[in-house]
Chains A and B, each alone.
Chain A
């Protein structure tokens, strides 16, 4: 009875999705395709033949590798700072009963909405005016950590919300000190969230530009390197770099989805096994009666 309108609706939906996906991916595809064109001008048209030489040029750029190294160093320090701070914030929000909690929450989460350059500029002004410490990569670590800690905190809070507090109490009751409880009960439970937080912190730090550019001083990070090349817009080796990065992102996305689905399937299998164990245990009791 409603076959035609439903089919039409489905066709519209599919078309819309396809168009949207094309809109999202076509610019990236174009940018990546240029990397293979044997011409110095970054363009697909005119196509002068397939080549891999821009990849070689990109690979041999020492400045690029230096900037990658610097970005990695900053990212590692950001992880070291943001994960513990995020955890402290999450524990504060989830477990302590303080009247001013909503206010503290608003303050701690505010950097997420604040424009990155404001964070960068304010960090620079603070450390320069107060301690005469000018722009350097350590300031970038501090500036980035102000909002990356917030992301970590949100991740931890989500995980803690479903954490049964009686588990910690049971551990205490059995004689564990708070440190032991934390190490043997809380941290293992938080492990997936901690891993997510580490990964998130790393990537957020690595790709950060706005805050970094104001606090970095004379150093060069990877994103700054890319911006520099993009603004000069000279050679397609930038496109080769873009190609590699996009491919890495796609691979990362696929891996993430596969792992996620595997975890879901595992959890379902365990739940089914528990149900069967429950039913099996009833039989001997029924017989014993």
Chain B
């Protein structure tokens, strides 16, 4: 900051105020975010040792944990499955949120739009654990969905939705679908309705209007909605824990298992791998769809 900038800041806030701002941001950035992240990264590359052995001869940097995390075939399957399922959840959320956001953004009667928004916010505010619980009941062996499918003749015996990937995916979709609606709605709301009318006046069919006008305009909203939904789904812990089981393991559970076994080093390695993979995936998608960081104004 320039000297004039400092003097201006002191003029506005006083020395105490400037100190508060800097100290607050420093504490938050360093103690709550950066240092823990660095230390987790550090631990991921150290072997699992008893406390007394820290700093001793065995405490050397090693990639063993990371190799276990991403090297073992079972783990690789789990990683791929997590990413794949998160993509699926994101896609379903996008397909469902798009028309809804569009309807809300173009809604002529503000009272209705407001009411619908609050109506949507309510399940959003209900804890995701309860929402997972609801699906646990629905998908149970002798629960309503199985009963319905048997009664309709589609199944002859109950399908074990729970303890399978499909149950978790259904749960994740339900949990995170609303995270797509709000960024999308915000982006679409700023679209000048005259543009759509002009396109229709020029004879464009509905799908073209969306493809050529609405989607490009809403790209930042779509991008941020997808990123948020994807990261939430990939990092979700409670939902897989409730709806999954021994036959449906997720990366977050691998982390938890190691945490439980006090092997935080291996857990950290899984964590690092998860974050890196997610970031790589997000960045690849951004490049593929030609979205730049500046587009996603949060």
- Asked if chains A and B are in direct contact (CB within 8 A), the reply is yes
Give residues in A with beta carbon < 8 Å to B.
13, 16-17, 20-21, 23-25, 27-28, 30-31, 34, 42-45, 84-85, 87-89, 91-92, 95-99, 104, 107-111, 113-119, 121-130, 142-143, 145-146, 149, 154, 168, 172, 177-179, 181-182, 203, 207, 209-210, 213-214, 223, 226-227, 230-231, 233, 238, 242, 245-246, 249-250, 252-254, 256-257, 260-261
- Which residue of chain A lies nearest to B170 when distances are taken between CB atoms in the complex? A27
- Which residue of chain A lies nearest to B99 when distances are taken between CB atoms in the complex? A16
B31 surroundings in chain A (CB, below 8 A)? 142
Q: How far is the CB of A29 from chain B (nearest CB, A)?
A: 9
In the bound complex, how far is the Cα of B21 from the Cα of A252, in angstroms? 34
B17 surroundings in chain A (CB, below 8 A)? 178-179, 182
Interface contact B28-A178, CB-CB below 8 Å = no
Interface contact A172-B11, CB-CB below 8 Å = yes
A207 surroundings in chain B (CB, below 8 A)? 127-129
- Which residue of chain B lies nearest to A42 when distances are taken between CB atoms in the complex? B137
Interface contact B39-A122, CB-CB below 8 Å = yes
In B116-162, which residues have CB < 8 Å from any A CB?
116, 118-123, 125-138, 140, 142-144, 147
Which of A116, A121, A213 has most chain B Cβ within 10 Å?
Answer: A121
In the bound complex, how far is the Cα of B109 from the Cα of A13, in angstroms? 14
Whether B184 sits at the interface, judged by CB under 8 Å, is: no
Contact of B126 among A88, A119, A130, A245 (CB under 8 A): A245
Interface size class of B (residues with CB under 8 A): 35 or more
Contact of B237 among A20, A98, A116 (CB under 8 A): A116
B37 surroundings in chain A (CB, below 8 A)? 122
Q: How far is the CB of B290 from chain A (nearest CB, A)?
A: 21
Contact of A104 among B14, B25, B121 (CB under 8 A): B25
The prevalent SS among residues of B at the interface is helix
Q: How far is the CB of A25 from chain B (nearest CB, A)?
A: 7
- Which residue of chain A lies nearest to B104 when distances are taken between CB atoms in the complex? A17
In the bound complex, how far is the Cα of B15 from the Cα of A178, in angstroms? 9
In the bound complex, how far is the Cα of B206 from the Cα of A187, in angstroms? 49
In the bound complex, how far is the Cα of B147 from the Cα of A245, in angstroms? 28
Give residues in B with beta carbon < 8 Å to A.
1-2, 5, 8-9, 11-14, 16-17, 20-25, 27-29, 31-37, 39-40, 43, 96, 99-100, 103, 114-116, 118-123, 125-138, 140, 142-144, 147, 174, 227-228, 231-232, 234-238, 241-242, 252, 255-256, 259, 264, 267-268, 271, 274-275, 278, 298
In the bound complex, how far is the Cα of B231 from the Cα of A125, in angstroms? 22
In the bound complex, how far is the Cα of B136 from the Cα of A246, in angstroms? 17
A149 surroundings in chain B (CB, below 8 A)? 28, 32
Interface contact B274-A118, CB-CB below 8 Å = yes
